[in-house]
Amino acid sequence: MRSDLIKKGVARAPHRSLLKAMGYTDEEIRRPLIGIGHAHNEIIPGHIHLDKIVEAVKTGVRMAGGTPIAFGTIGVCDGIAMNHTGMKYSLASREIIADSVEIMAQAHPFDALVLIPNCDKVTPGMLMAMLRVNIPALMVSGGPMLTGRFRGKDVHLVSVFEGVGRVMAKTMTEEELSELEDAACPGCGSCAGMFTANSMNCLTEAVGLGLPGNGTIPAVSAARIRLAKEAGMAVMNLLAKDIRPRDIATKEAFENAMAVDMALGCSTNTVLHVPAIAKEAGVSLPLETFNQVSVRTPHVCSLIPGGPHSLQQLDEAGGVQAVISELLNIDDAICQDVMTVTGKTLGENLKTARVRDREIIKSVDAPYHKRGGIAVLYGNLAPDGAVVKQSAVADEMLEHSGPARVYNSEEEAQAAILGGQINPGDVIVIRYCGPKGGPGMPEMLSPTSAIIGMGLGKSVALITDGRFSGGTQGACIGHVSPEAAVGGPIGLVEEGDLIVIDIPNTVLKFEVDDSELEKRRAKWQPPVPKITTGYVARYARQVTSGSTGAVLKDD
């Protein structure tokens, strides 16, 4: 066993003495040592209950003959970090999370790992570490939050963000917003809807690194505790069979996950995280792969925020496994031979999967959209690509052209939107918000929600070299690459330039000829860094483009 490095032989007496200082018995030390990496804390709703998940996983490990040893890592609540300096630290936290799990797993040579995340950067960060360390491992998330109820309707966190815009548009009172605020987030779990956290937890299941149910069983359900116990037992089976994460996370498995991404209409942040996770597995997933998968994979679930259905309803309809089983009806959409953390192939797992509700999971022959939920756009405004959640765009905005309204920060744009300075037909451009320029590629749920709240969702587009929350809906195009801070064309856009968006044909361009662009480029100056000390300043110097997953430079 790997843990023999710290527990066998006379020379390891000091190591055993330190383990005994924490109360471990000789019998516990002799057993396989299973690291339980978690992100429990008291600032993130998705994490507040992870201590219960940890205890359930530990129970499962002990039931199967192992010794569980828990350790923690950091996490950022994107909702709380939104629209202030804190958002510059969110994406950057992914690398810290990955590094911290790697450090713990290497400094203390566990025989296997169970990782317990539940929010936007924690799930991908832990997956990156899992594949980097590559010892038997699996993931079990804390599960999604239930939707709230407000005046007879399902509501969620984004409802509150949109409520701010409605108050400014005078279609909601401050008293009503306060009532909504009390109702929207009813308890623990990752925010209700196919936002980034739930997207990544579903894709963890789809790639085979989480047990069936990982993405959709509600946080408050007893089934989530049972799943955690099963995860503890499952990791011992993976250890016995020496099945490792890279045996599971193959190119075919990632393409399966991308197909599920398209079918569910997941967050655009998956386009950052999936390639970054794949890189740790030694698998290359160029940005164009998302379009290739999107073309052949229909959008069969209409989930919050782009549609009416919740994660709880998706779970009741059969969950991720039912969605995958439906995709089997498309030639070459799913590879069934890939291994999963159940110790069985995907095809074996799917033998018990079925669609229980055709209102929630449509047939591939009668989908919501013939193409998948995400599209990557190219053109002279985004030579290296830009990303849009096309399943959440109103039909009238799939093709749109309008004058650029240019802002060099989210704060400037937000003030203009709430101040009534944006007109129907405009294309808002928010730049210097990429991985380097942000720094940290901040999410922009506040301006996108304000657009919806102000009643402009079907007439105004927004493009940025930053990124969007999974809660975003509308013609919001992010990850524009190259970013403005490195001289990308988005930094050369001027007020009034005509911007053309053609999502069906994957085009994003602006009507400025090459000679004029060269004149503008000659005048362009790199921006002064917004943060010059500490971790995020180092991150800005090392981070790569959004088109490559915003991973750090290898050197």
Residue of 90, 221, 459, 469 marked active site: 469
The DSSP output letter for 338 is -
Write out the DSSP string of 258-295. HHHHHHHT--TTHHHHHHHHHHHTT----THHHHHHHH
**Residue 338 · residue 256 · CB < 8 Å:** yes
Q: Name the helix (H) or strand (E) containing 112.
A: strand 112-116
Angle, to 10 degrees, between the axis of helix 90-107 and the axis of helix 122-133? 30
CA distance 142 to 130: 17
**Residue 125 · residue 93 · CB < 8 Å:** yes
Show the beta-strand stretches assigned E in 140-188: 148-150, 153-155
**Residue 510 · residue 403 · CB < 8 Å:** no
**Residue 50 · residue 143 · CB < 8 Å:** no
Q: Compute φ and ψ for 375, nearest 5 degrees.
A: -130, 145
- Closest by CA to 119, choosing from 102, 139, 141, 138, is 141
Q: Catalytic: 363? A: no
Chain-centroid distance of CA 484 in Å reads: 23
**Residue 160 · residue 147 · CB < 8 Å:** no
Per the rule left: phi > 0, alpha: psi between -120 and 50, beta: everything else, 72 is beta
Chain-centroid distance of CA 303 in Å reads: 15
**Residue 440 · residue 542 · CB < 8 Å:** no
Residue 97's SS3 state is: helix
Angle, to 10 degrees, between the axis of helix 90-107 and the axis of helix 534-542? 90
**Residue 248 · residue 157 · CB < 8 Å:** no
Write the burial class of residue 332 (CB in 10 Å: 0-12 exposed, 13-18 middle, 19+ buried): exposed
Q: Compute φ and ψ for 222, nearest 5 degrees.
A: -60, -25
**Residue 286 · residue 327 · CB < 8 Å:** no
CA distance 404 to 321: 43
Q: What is the largest CA-CA distance in the chain?
A: 76
Helix, strand, coil share of the chain (percent; to 5): 45, 15, 40
Residues labelled catalytic: 469
